[in-house]
Amino acid sequence: MGQKPEFQYVDEHFDEFVSELRAAVRQPSIAAQNVGMVEAAEYFTGLLERYGIHARSIATDGGYPVVYGEIKGDSDRTVLFYDHYDVQPPDPLNEWVSDPFAGEVRDGKMYARGVSDNKGNACARIQAVGTLLRLRGGRLPVTVKFLIEGEEEIGSPHLEGFIRDHADLLRADCGVWESGYIGADGRPGMYLGVKGILYVELEARGAERDMHSAAAANVPNPAWRLIWALSTIKNEAEEILIPGFYDAVRPPTEREMELLRAEEAAREAASSQRERQWRGGNIGIHSPLLELRGLELRKRALFSPTANVCGFRSGYIGEGQKTVLPSKALVKMDFRLVPDQDPADILQKLQAHLRAKGFDDIAVRPVTMDHPVKTSADHPVVKAAQEAALAVYGLPASVAPTQGGSGPMYPFTKYLDLPMVAFGVGYWASGNHGPNENIRLDDYRQGIKMAMEFLDRV
């Protein structure tokens, strides 16, 4: 098959690309444990430079450095790639078939912590730009910038400040988000946004210390306080009852619903499979909440905010019985938010709601806040990515207007006004954050070509 010389180059040099990826994953870089962070930043700075991309490591205010790369292109347009060089801890170690930092290849897949999330994408994009530079005498169709941070897996505490302080350096016309996944149907998956998050701890306190449960006749129980408080936050119809909670929710646009409908139509077979999964229950659940199916299920997943209890701790939960009246109760909750909900505003509304319901004794402590973001599905960058995907994969991309999870996309919108599209080298079973994280090397090869094709078309 006649293909672009750049693609042929990728095929001919693929072993080199894979060894560079293996070297990247062999360097542990666990932000949560401060393991190998400096070395990993050096590796990526070096990789950028090896391909002729000007690179440096820029200190953040007390955090891990950001690796920054830049190379001028022929047009006045600029693309910014966002990736991260840190990874999650590899635990539980005994569930890995091979060493999480070996990068072993089995059955055409490379297994390593961070190979999908996110070193595979970072390497593929650098190699794509590097290949274009090599084959075209150092010229690129657009200016390319790389922002590779080292704190994504610990909540990106310094990213917003970094983007704010370096807004001029980072200025671009569009951005490519860290990851995207090939679906079970073989189509490249893309998404255009993230949900926001408000993570809080609620704590109720009772007596100074745990007491004999005989005291329950007279002494208030903080576990009950917390349960009653929680029951005012959401009802059994899945409605969140905090006044004003839904005020800022923007309903999906006609174009977004069109994307969802196209998706449902294209995945009819897969979707009935999914419905069977709900009935048969590969997660042990007989029906999704509210018994939703098909389009409605998907719409709710992407466009509805949630109020979720992550954990609840109080009193005695060891073996057997202990008749105790606990002195405190703690719950951890996350609210996944959709545009244009503001996590700080939701926090205030939650606090006001608890006060109004008579629960002002319950302490509310925010842990994490991230704004939701959506790129308009009509933006030309989305079209460029779709065209590139069709050219590389021979299949139409499956484009999700947003995703159920969260990520630090908001500062890119706030300070750089950057439309973002996400595509990448992972696949539906990459198992990010879990044991045996992996990517298929064929997807890796295609991912390099995809990044090149995107730069040619954007």
CB of 111 to Zn ion, least distance (A): 16
Which is nearer to Zn ion, 93 or 241 (by Cβ)? Answer: 93
Residues between 200 and 229 that touch Zn ion (CB under 5 A): none
Q: At what angle do helices 120-135 and 37-50 cross, to 10 degrees?
A: 20
**Whole-number Å distance between alpha carbons of 422 and 403:** 10
Give alpha helix (H) positions in 179-253: 222-231
Q: How many residues does the chain have?
A: 458
CB of 398 to Zn ion, least distance (A): 21
Q: List all residues 6 or more positions away from 120 whose beta carbon is below 8 Å from its beta carbon.
A: 21, 110, 424, 425, 426, 439, 444, 447
Which is nearer to Zn ion, 63 or 252 (by Cβ)? Answer: 63
Closest CA to 57 of 133, 119, 147, 128: 147
Which is nearer to Zn ion, 149 or 453 (by Cβ)? Answer: 149
Which is nearer to Zn ion, 280 or 405 (by Cβ)? Answer: 405
Sign of the torsion formed by the C-alpha atoms of 260, 266, 268 and 269: negative
CB of 432 to Zn ion, least distance (A): 5
CB of 153 to Zn ion, least distance (A): 5
Residues between 113 and 172 that touch Zn ion (CB under 5 A): 117
User: Residue with CB nearest Zn ion?
Assistant: 117
Which is nearer to Zn ion, 244 or 405 (by Cβ)? Answer: 405
Q: List all residues 6 or more positions away from 198 whose beta carbon is below 8 Å from its beta carbon.
A: 334, 335, 337, 343, 346, 347, 350, 366, 368, 369
DSSP classification of residue 187: P
Closest CA to 160 of 411, 344, 371, 372: 411
Which is nearer to Zn ion, 117 or 370 (by Cβ)? Answer: 117
**Whole-number Å distance between alpha carbons of 372 and 374:** 7
CB of 411 to Zn ion, least distance (A): 18
Tokens read off for 1: 């098959």
CB of 178 to Zn ion, least distance (A): 8
Contact 100, 90 (CB under 8 A): yes
Q: What binding mask, one character per residue, do residues 83-122 give for Zn ion by CB under 5 A, x or -? A: ----------------------------------x-----
Which is nearer to Zn ion, 6 or 117 (by Cβ)? Answer: 117
CB of 104 to Zn ion, least distance (A): 21
By rule CB under 5 A, what count of residues binds Zn ion?
Answer: 1
> Binding residues for Zn ion, per CB under 5 A?
117
